[in-house]
């Protein structure tokens, strides 16, 4: 494990003074919240794709350092909801802002501030939580373009610190970790040291399959898709059998998900199986079925099954 940094509250906490706190990662969709959480925790905890609205419910990832525990909460991207599902996603993300010790707001610095970011700032104001700003994706831009962004962000008066970084390459992520550590309150750890997330196994499995749908399909298809786990069976010879249903909204989307001669299903199944094997540490036999359930994004019984219980 890393040594304590040489300066700041974290270093001053002393050998017996444990710090433990909750930190939300918030921002509009696709700015890199899940990538950053995985980077900070040092493990793949939350799924990532280049499709906006990948994360659908808050996912916790836990950082362990000597004398410090940070419970990060990766939240769904804030966006304009068109379905009940999206209303619940935004509601959960907004609620988390008020429940944490610190909010880390992300923007995609390569795109600059947009109306979506400003809307997030308004939510942050109402939440009245302490906050820091991350200017993410600096690997995609020249450093000269950073200064005006830092100026504009400081003028909002909302942030205690502004940290430019790249969640993807890891550049300057240690700086953010130090900024966060110095703002954690004293308190005992909430989780044992070997726990990196409290996401239940069933949900983690469903997420890893959904990640492949998001990475391999385009346009409306990923948004119109959910993954329901029907069966997980640990068999002999270190083999886990998993049956999952991919639910989608329309026949045309089902056809895309299956693909010509079943090609898309096969591609999703093969990559999902590999990531499930890495996650479970066993061989996996994965059976996938596609089912059309029109209007499922407004159906609270389905939403409950995918971790979005109605408010």
Site for ligand GTP in 139-168 (CB under 6 A): 139-140, 166-168
260 binds, among ligand GTP, Mg ion, none (CB under 5 to 8 A by kind): none
Answer for which of 49, 69, 212, 217 binds ligand GTP (CB under 6 A) is 49
Site for Mg ion in 42-101 (CB under 5 A): 54-55
Taking the complex as a whole, the smallest distance from the CB of residue 74 to ligand GTP amounts, in Å, to: 7
Taking the complex as a whole, the smallest distance from the CB of residue 35 to Mg ion amounts, in Å, to: 8
Taking the complex as a whole, the smallest distance from the CB of residue 36 to ligand GTP amounts, in Å, to: 7
Q: Which is nearer to ligand GTP, 13 or 92 (CB)?
A: 92
Number of residues that bind ligand GTP (CB under 6 A): 23
Answer for which of 34, 94, 215, 240 binds Mg ion (CB under 5 A) is 34
Is 35 near ligand GTP (CB under 6 A)?
yes
Is 30 near ligand GTP (CB under 6 A)?
yes
Taking the complex as a whole, the smallest distance from the CB of residue 79 to ligand GTP amounts, in Å, to: 8
Is 137 near ligand GTP (CB under 6 A)?
yes
Is 307 near ligand GTP (CB under 6 A)?
no
What string of H, E and C letters represents the secondary structure of the chain? CCCCCCCHHHHHCCCCCCEEEEEEEECECCCCHHHHHHHHHCCCCCCCCCCCCCCCCCEEEEEEECCEEEEEEECCCECCCCCHHHHHHHHHHHHHHHCCCEEEEEEECCCCCCHHHHHHHHHHHHHCCCEEEEEECHHHCCHHHHHHHHHHHHHCCCCCCEEECCCCCCCCHHHHHHHHHCCCCECCCCCCCCCCCCCCHHHHHHHHHHHHHHHHCCCHHHHCCEEEEEEEEECCCCEEEEEEEEEECCHHHHHHHHCHHHHHHHHHHHHHHHHHHHHHCCEEEEEEEEEECCCHHHCHHHHHHCCCCCC
290 binds, among Mg ion, ligand GTP, none (CB under 5 to 8 A by kind): none
Site residues (CB under 6 A) for ligand GTP?
Answer: 29-35, 48-50, 52-55, 76-77, 136-137, 139-140, 166-168
Site residues (CB under 5 A) for Mg ion?
Answer: 33-34, 54-55
């Amino acid at each position: 494990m890393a040594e304590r940094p040489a300066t700041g509250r974290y270093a001053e906490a002393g050998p017996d003074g444990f710090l433990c706190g909750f930190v939300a990662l918030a921002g509009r969709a696709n700015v890199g919240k899940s990538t950053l959480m995985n980077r900070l925790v040092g493990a793949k905890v939350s799924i990532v794709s280049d499709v906006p609205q990948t994360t659908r419910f808050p996912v916790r990832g836990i950082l362990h350092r000597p004398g410090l525990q940070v419970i990060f909460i990766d939240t769904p991207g804030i966006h304009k909801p068109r379905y009940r599902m999206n209303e619940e996603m935004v509601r959960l993300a907004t609620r988390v802002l008020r429940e944490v010790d610190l909010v880390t707001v992300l923007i995609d610095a390569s795109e600059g501030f947009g109306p979506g970011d400003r809307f997030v700032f308004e939510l942050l104001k109402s939440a009245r939580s302490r906050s820091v700003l991350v200017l993410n994706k600096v690997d995609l831009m020249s450093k000269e373009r950073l200064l005006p962004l830092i100026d504009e962000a400081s003028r909002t008066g909302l942030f205690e610190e502004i940290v430019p970084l790249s969640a993807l390459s890891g550049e300057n992520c240690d700086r953010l970790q130090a900024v966060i550590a110095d703002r954690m309150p004293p308190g005992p750890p909430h989780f044992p040291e070997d726990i990196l997330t409290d996401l239940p196994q069933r949900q983690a499995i469903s997420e890893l399959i959904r990640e492949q749908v998001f990475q391999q399909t385009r346009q409306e298809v990923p948004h119109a898709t959910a993954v329901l786990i029907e069966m997980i069976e640990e068999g002999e010879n270190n083999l886990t059998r998993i049956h999952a249903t991919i639910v989608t909204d329309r026949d045309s989307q089902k056809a895309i998900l299956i693909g010509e001669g079943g090609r898309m299903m096969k591609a999703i199944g093969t990559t999902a199986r590999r990531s499930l094997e890495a996650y479970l540490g066993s061989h996996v036999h994965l059976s996938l079925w596609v089912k059309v359930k029109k209007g499922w994004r407004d159906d609270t019984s389905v939403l409950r099954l995918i971790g979005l219980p109605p408010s």
